[in-house]
Structure 1
Amino acid sequence: MKTTVLVADDDREIRDILHIYLRNEGYSVLEAEDGRQALEYLQNEKIDLIILDIMMPVLDGIRACFKIREQSNIPIIMLSAKSEDIDKITGLSTGADDYVTKPFNPLELIARVKAQLRRQNFTSVNTADDSAEIVIDDDLILYKNEHRVAVRGKEVALTPIEFSILLLLATHRGQVFNIDTIYQKAWKEQSEFYSDNTVMVHIRNIREKIEVNPREPQYIKTVWGVGYKIDR
């Protein structure tokens, strides 16, 4: 069965261009003109990845991303005509896995699509090895095979990227990972197209979900000037 990518953008020219490039890579492509159409497709079709523009009518990409994350951990790549870091942070904070600024090189976007799908497949294949359960302590448990996390007895929904980052740190307790290494291992690609904020925002999102007080984290520790670790 072909991998299906949903392109949600109100700009027909961008949809057409991405359709051609994605189809040439062997993907099946669906198109939506706004966030509401994207959600309708998600309800009725098997979709493997979404390319989601931020600025759309009816339902914009930010609100659509929030709604998607309520029901699915499907990889999401956000598109925006704005290049400021604050817009990137907003996009990633909604649960998106990656972010591309317009105008973009279609080949770069295709590379990011492949990286997200590769990482998704890698996680699915490799969650069956080693121990299926990683116990940090009584309050934080990762279930690798089921790709889920329990915090203080309650399940917490992490995006695929968030889970990959937490799994990386949890399986190498005490080891400090710098931002470049976290990006390369979690995204399964080289770190030439990203900014430091990409990883930092995902770390912040994870802390918001697993820590009692995200400003004084018990689990994911910052080693200033170096990176992040879990040493419990």
Structure 2
Amino acid sequence: MASGGPLLEEIYGNVLRPSFNLNELSPYGEITEALAHGRTVVTAVLDDKGRPVGAAVGEWSPKTGVLLLAYIAVRPEWRSRRCGALLMDAVRGAWRKRFQPSFILVEFEHPLAHRSDARHGDPRARFRFYARHGVRALGLPYFQPSLGSGRERVYGMVLAAVHVAPTGTGGHVDTVASAPIREFLTDYFLRTEGEVPTDPAGRRLWRALEHGDAGISLIGLTDPAILPVSRPE
């Protein structure tokens, strides 16, 4: 999808908006503006009447070589019908071919920090979905920054790798180089909050990013209890 319009409005209103709370979801206007400037990519699964039943939204950072899978959602009645798998195929296929990123990252709720919600879905089900697709968590006490005025940070999030190019591993199978991740998160927080966080949760996150040559651990999604959890103080 190259621009906004009725289809994007339907994707936002009927697929994304019911799946994420306001703190987690970027405003519609920001998505359309970024899409028009080539900084965002949107892929949708349509039913036989051309209505979107699932969608994925990616945010591209050419400066850092990171493509963030910001949102992936499927309408409840279409779950367990391979819509999510089709979207992940697009992320690893068409998106990867188009942007050639060093990293494809995704952020999602830590199952031990968030409860299942009839409207917004089940964090444990999302965890299992990403596990089935070979996604691995970064060993960081991550939280999503505030996405704008009136929106709060979302603590207890997982930042994970969907894809890591050979240049991003630092020569190790179970780690990623910390410098590009730190650069990406610095840019992310500057763009959203206007500064690198210096509160206790922010300092913990940035300390975890300061691994130098050791890199940041990649952790398989086998047990939520082994993943770091960020909490407000």
Q: Which has the higher contact order (CA 8 A, sep 6+)?
A: 2
Larger Rg: 1
TM over 0.5: no
Bigger helix share: 1
For normalisation by structure 2, the TM-score amounts to 0.31
